């Protein structure tokens, strides 16, 4: 089955392959194209027991994509984390039409029946990942420059993260790339696939990030550390929609 959507200037095909997953998402591409806010269930900030409730809060607030990010976990540990502590997560996200993306491990995404996998610059090619996950789920790439963003588009990734815009304790040791290239990235790449700006974005600087040309953002610590995750997420969504 091939699914076409044409929200961008050029209609493009996301899913054309014959690979069947046990639990395919109806149309993750169009859900992704609607997403303004990408939330991350980052195990550096939450306990395993909180995964489900935090996911529900982020989705209730309006997050359009969720990622599970568990640095320091190997692939089997990520699978066990979900199975043991958030066994309803995958199905819940599907029921809300919010793609659930697994960071780093294509095999874990397949084993869990997740809707996508996210990989970094050093995690191999799209072709290699597609050999594991097939054509039915999303594959995203982290990019840290305009050239990397262009390369990810060219390679065929479904979306990119672009940043970190600002240095952030969530991704230690990586310098901020600033906001100067955001509008060009949004113009060139964001007209073709979703570009999610990431890194150090908070309610306090969201206006600046939007003024630089961003349309979609990933926010991790400012949401996971908020006193009221639902309300904070809703406020960010309101600002993104007004963007």
CA distance 101 to 210: 24
Nearest 5 degrees, angle CA 103-CA 178-CA 186? 70
Share of the chain residues as helix, strand and coil, in percent rounded to the nearest 5? 40, 20, 40
Q: Supply the minimum distance, in Å, between the C-beta of residue 195 and ligand TZP.
A: 13
Q: Supply the minimum distance, in Å, between the C-beta of residue 227 and Mg ion.
A: 29
Provide the 8-state DSSP code for 43: T
Q: Which stretch binds Mg ion (CB under 5 A): 9-17, 115-123, 143-151, 223-231?
A: 115-123
Going 220 to 222 to 228 to 232, the CA torsion angle's sign is negative
Check binding of 200 to ligand TZP (CB under 6 A): yes
Q: Residue 87 or 120: which CB sits closer to Mg ion?
A: 120
Helix (H) or strand (E) holding 5: strand 3-5
Q: Residue 117 or 214: which CB sits closer to Mg ion?
A: 117
Binding mask 146-175 for ligand TZP (x = CB under 6 A): ---------------x-xx---x-xx----
Check binding of 120 to Mg ion (CB under 5 A): yes
- Residue 132, phi then psi, degrees to nearest 5: -90, -45
Residue ranges in contact with ligand TZP by CB under 6 A: 142, 161, 163-164, 168, 170-171, 198-201, 219-221
Residue ranges in contact with Mg ion by CB under 5 A: 104, 120
């Amino acid at each position: 089955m091939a699914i076409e959507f044409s929200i961008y200037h050029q209609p493009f095909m996301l899913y054309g392959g014959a690979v069947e997953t046990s639990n395919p998402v109806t149309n993750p591409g169009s859900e992704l194209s609607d997403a303004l806010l990408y939330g991350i269930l980052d195990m550096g900030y939450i306990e395993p027991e909180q995964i489900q409730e935090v996911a529900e809060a982020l989705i209730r607030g309006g997050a359009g994509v969720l990622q599970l990010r568990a640095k320091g976990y190997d692939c089997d540990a990520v699978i066990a984390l979900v199975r043991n502590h958030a066994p309803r997560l995958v199905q819940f996200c599907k029921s809300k039409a919010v793609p659930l993306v697994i960071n780093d491990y294509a095999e874990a995404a397949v084993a869990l029946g997740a809707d996508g996998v996210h990989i970094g610059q050093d995690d191999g090619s799209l072709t290699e990942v597609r050999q594991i996950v097939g054509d039915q789920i999303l594959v995203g790439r982290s990019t840290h420059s305009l050239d990397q963003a262009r390369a990810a588009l060219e390679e065929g990734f479904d979306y990119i993260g672009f940043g970190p815009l600002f240095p952030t304790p969530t991704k230690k040791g990586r310098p901020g790339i600033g906001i100067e290239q955001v509008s060009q990235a949004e113009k060139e790449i964001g007209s073709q696939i979703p570009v999610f700006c990431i890194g150090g974005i908070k309610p306090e600087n969201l206006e600046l990030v939007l003024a630089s040309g961003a349309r979609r953002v990933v926010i991790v610590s400012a949401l996971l550390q908020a006193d009221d995750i639902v309300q904070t997420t809703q406020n960010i969504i309101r600002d993104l929609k007004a963007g």
